[in-house]
Amino acid sequence: MMLRTCQVLCSQAGPSTGAWQALSFDGGAFHLKGTGELMRALLVLRLCAWPPLVTHGLALQAWSQRLLGSRLSGALLRASIYGQFVAGETSEEVRGCVQQLQTLGLRPLLAVPTEEEPDSAVKTGEAWYEGNLNAMLRCVDLSRGLPENPGPTGNILMQLKVTALTSTRLCKELTSWIRRPGASLELCSERLAEAMDSGRDLHVSCLSTEQNQHLQASLSRLHRVVQHARAQRVRLLVDAEYTSLNPALSLLVAALAMRCNSPREGGPWVWNTYQAYLKDTYERLRRDAEAADKAGLAFGVKLVRGAYLDKERKVAQLQGTEDPTQPDYEATSRSYSRCLELMLTHVSQRGPMCHLMVASHNEESVYQATKRSGSSHCLDG
């Protein structure tokens, strides 16, 4: 399982009590690492910035297995890239890694690194998605069993990939339908939420019988993960993916939010991710925040810059459509800052009804958030 970490920036609303300390980027995390681990980290960083490896990574992995055999190839991978990014292969290894990081005030964000790539030639079936469901349920239990940092939030967080539980083909089909005029009545979050609760068959006219069955099974899987996470007091942060999938993913998140993000339930238990490198992110974020406020629902946001820039631009060029991404790094930074200011205002106004994760590798963005954290309820970064 993959380990992501976040520094707690949470403070109680109102005047500062003096307990909060500003973040510093002084390299303190390096003190936890031995020379060998630091050398490996530098090597992995260089390798991940080497275009041929990024482009042909899967082919090189397959070649390595044929040449070296599965056991030796696996050992090499564990000693390099896998070992750098994965917290451990057993519960004990993960707990040990988490305890080490907690000495610096870092908290875990576990994830099951499984997803289905759009237009993948690999055949997947219900058994594959059911296997991913079982892995996610185990990840929820592992997240619950990890030692917690002392702090005012007490949040346990886990990352969720929707495309591990439902096919990208279905998500693309739903996205295409959502974008059509008049489709909102048939494909709305209320209808999906009702189908999750009742378990009754949901028929969507744009889908085939097989696709409708898969949609029903997908809703059941998502509902089971969220119900189990809520029972274990684990909050799920749903990853954003490609623009051809995101409208469908957001619809599914909205349906889950209707059932799980009530303030009476201690929500939000389901958060959505917003990518600042897309041109329409600010307006979508503003609209969704206002809709949650109007519906009386708690609202959870993970704000990121984005991870699919090159792919999005290539797809837009091939299809002859408008590039959905910001034109350059500076525009993305302005977008991120604008979205962050919007959410910081919502956090300060709605208190515990609004949670925000500032997911950024940019120091300026983190400082922007920490400057206002003294008046915010639930702010992670």
d(CA 221, CA 143): 19
Q: Would you list the DSSP string of 294-319?
A: HHT--EEEEEE--S-HHHHHHHHHHH
d(CA 44, CA 77): 11
Residue 372 has pLDDT above 90, yes or no: no
Which of 66, 101, 136 marks a domain boundary? Answer: 101
Which of 221, 244, 260 marks a domain boundary? Answer: 260
> What is this structure's pTM?
0.86
Are residues 202 and 334 located together in one domain of the fold? no
Are residues 161 and 237 located together in one domain of the fold? yes
Q: With respect to residue 193, please indicate whether it lies within any of the assigned structural domains.
A: yes
Nearest to 188 by CA among 204, 210, 166: 204
Are residues 47 and 174 located together in one domain of the fold? no
The residues, ordered by sequence, that sit 6+ positions from 253 with a Cβ below 8 Å of its Cβ are 162, 238, 270, 272
pLDDT per residue as tens digits for the range 133-154: 999 999 999 999 887 655 444 5
pLDDT, greater one: 253 or 1: 253
What average pLDDT does this structure show over 69-73? 89
Residue 130 has pLDDT above 90, yes or no: yes
- State residue 22's pLDDT score: 56
d(CA 78, CA 75): 5
Q: With respect to residue 332, please indicate whether it lies within any of the assigned structural domains.
A: yes
| Residue whose structure tokens are 């684990």 | 234
Return the SS3 of 109.
strand
Do 20 and 374 form a contact (C-beta atoms < 8 A)?
A: yes
| Residue whose structure tokens are 């739903």 | 174
pLDDT per residue as tens digits for the range 19-64: 445 566 666 667 777 888 889 989 888 888 888 887 888 888 889 8
Are residues 134 and 219 located together in one domain of the fold? yes
d(CA 183, CA 248): 12
Are residues 203 and 251 located together in one domain of the fold? yes
Domain carrying residue 326: 267-381
Q: With respect to residue 234, please indicate whether it lies within any of the assigned structural domains.
A: yes
pLDDT, greater one: 77 or 172: 172
Q: With respect to residue 3, please indicate whether it lies within any of the assigned structural domains.
A: no
Return the SS3 of 252.
helix
Task: Name the region of 320 (left: φ>0; alpha: ψ -120 to 50; beta: rest).
Answer: left
Q: With respect to residue 300, please indicate whether it lies within any of the assigned structural domains.
A: yes
Are residues 284 and 302 located together in one domain of the fold? yes
The residues, ordered by sequence, that sit 6+ positions from 288 with a Cβ below 8 Å of its Cβ are 250, 254, 272, 299
Q: With respect to residue 18, please indicate whether it lies within any of the assigned structural domains.
A: no
**Which range (83-87, 119-123, 159-163) has the least confidence?**
119-123
Q: What's the domain count of the chain?
A: 3
pLDDT, greater one: 273 or 199: 273
Residue 238 has pLDDT above 90, yes or no: yes
d(CA 149, CA 132): 28
Are residues 89 and 219 located together in one domain of the fold? no
Q: For residue 32, what are the CA distances in angstroms to 35, 89, 101, 133?
A: 10, 20, 8, 34
Are residues 362 and 224 located together in one domain of the fold? no
Q: For residue 27, what are the CA distances in angstroms to 6, 30, 33?
A: 15, 6, 11
**Position 145: which residue type?**
G
d(CA 162, CA 238): 7
d(CA 327, CA 331): 6
Which of 75, 101, 127 marks a domain boundary? Answer: 101
Q: With respect to residue 120, please indicate whether it lies within any of the assigned structural domains.
A: yes
